Amino acid sequence: ATNQLAIAIDGPAAAGKSTVAKHVAQRLSYIYIDTGAMYRALTYKAIINKVDLENENQVSNLLENTSIDLEQTNKGQLVYLDNNEITREIRTKEVTNNVSIVAKHPLIRREMVKRQQLLAEKRAVVMDGRDIGTHVIPDAEVKIFLIASVEERAQRRHKENLEKGFESDLDQLKREIETRDKLDSEREAAPLVKAKDAVEIDTTSLSIEDVVERILQVVATK
Ligand code: CDP
Ligand code: CDP
């Protein structure tokens, strides 16, 4: 077998990170780790517990008493919060529009990065998020930074919503994506930024298969 690598995939909302990461992991028989799901799970719990999301210490105390687990199944990734399955609950609009507040706190990031580093310890992982190549696995053998125009990204989410039978407003989606990108890029602690040694792929006019192939080409050079 070839070397067991760590593959870091970062980029803004709806650039295709999780979709592409899952495919790459499958092709290489690696584990896929969705770090956004961890921030979403904590946000979900904080909302339910009526914790003030801006209060770093309160959210941090909550996280100390919280277990978040990701399980890979043939039906996709399942997310567990304190041993209860909450895979669907973390994708609501309310969680999506509040997660960047929780994720901006340095104490939260420090603990999440620690947990994520344990998951990546043995390599053979594809991990996606915002700070994987810069902070979580700074020595990852492969770093990918996925981008796409905000119009294209809003369209992708819109299409997903309609396919699932959800209500969806394209202009509103676009504004929500822009707001989240801005919060994620402008925060002090580990902002969304391309690592110096990351390969940037603009996916605006690429298919999922195209992007997967490009990443596998980068992997093949390692
Ligand atoms: O899939 P989508 O791009 O909508 O978001 P996600 O990957 O599930 O991440 C949700 C949010 O979690 C992001 O907007 C960030 O605020 C935060 N996040 C982060 O700060 N660092 C990570 N490594 C992953 C997610
Ligand atoms: O994880 P992230 O938020 O970056 O994006 P995603 O949830 O993986 O992907 C958003 C949507 O874009 C999904 O419905 C994909 O099928 C679609 N898509 C893609 O991921 N890559 C392309 N090159 C084209 C479409």
pLDDT tens digits for range 28-71? 999 999 999 999 999 999 999 999 999 999 999 999 999 999 99
Quickly state the pLDDT bin for 76 (edges 50, 70, 90): confident
Average pLDDT, the chain: 96
Please say whether the dihedral angle defined by the alpha carbons of residues 6, 148, 22 and 129, taken in this order, is positive or negative.
positive
Average pLDDT over residues 6-34: 96
- Cβ of 10 closer than 6 Å to ligand 1, yes or no, is no
Atom of ligand 1 nearest to the CA of 183: 16
- CA distance linking residue 101 with residue 184, whole number of Å: 9
Q: Is the pLDDT of residue 206 over 50?
A: yes
pLDDT above 70 as % of the chain: 99
Q: Is the pLDDT of residue 2 over 70?
A: no
**Kindly report the CA angle at 109 between 105 and 127, in degrees rounded to 5?**
140
Q: Where are the domains of the chain?
A: 6-220
- Cβ of 184 closer than 6 Å to ligand 1, yes or no, is yes
- Cβ of 35 closer than 6 Å to ligand 1, yes or no, is yes
pLDDT tens digits for range 124-160? 999 999 999 999 999 999 999 999 999 999 999 999 9
**Residue 162 alpha carbon to ligand 1 centre in Å:** 22
Atom of ligand 1 nearest to the CA of 37: 8
Bridge partners, residue 70, by sequence: 79
Class of domain 6-220: alpha beta
Q: Is the pLDDT of residue 77 over 50?
A: yes
Atom of ligand 1 nearest to the CA of 100: 16
Quickly state the pLDDT bin for 1 (edges 50, 70, 90): very low
- The amino acid at residue 202 is D
pLDDT of 47: 98
Candidate from 95, 156, 162, 173 with most ligand 2 atoms within 8 A of CB, to mutate: 156
- pTM comes to 0.96
**DSSP state at residue 26:** H
pLDDT of 29: 94
